[in-house]
Amino acid sequence: MKKAKFETSLKCEGCVATLSEHMSQLDFVENWEVDLNSDKKVLTVQGESIDKEAVVKSVEDAGFTAKEKRGLFGF
């Protein structure tokens, strides 16, 4: 299973609940979670074939921002 990480503008559990209805519409997402304790509010998405642009659009459609997080290990 592949994994992609995104920095977001989510702030609270209410934001995550709002995002939930948008993420549920993405067929390729098998699992997702937001680390609200991190400074960057990292959204982690797992699936076999992740459409990163669709994830960013889904987050934006929910009223938030998302940017793919890239690090030394490619995430």
> Which pLDDT score, from 0 to 100, does residue 71 have?
66
Distance CA 29, CA 48 (A): 8
Q: Answer whether 0.95 is exceeded by the pTM.
A: no
Mean pLDDT of the chain: 93
Ordered structural domains, the chain, with CATH = 2-68 (3.30.70.100)
**Secondary structure string (H, E, C) spanning the chain:** CEEEEEEECCCCHHHHHHHHHHHCCCCCCCEEEEECCCCCCEEEEEECCCCHHHHHHHHHHCCCCEEECCCCCCC
- Dmax (CA) of the chain: 32
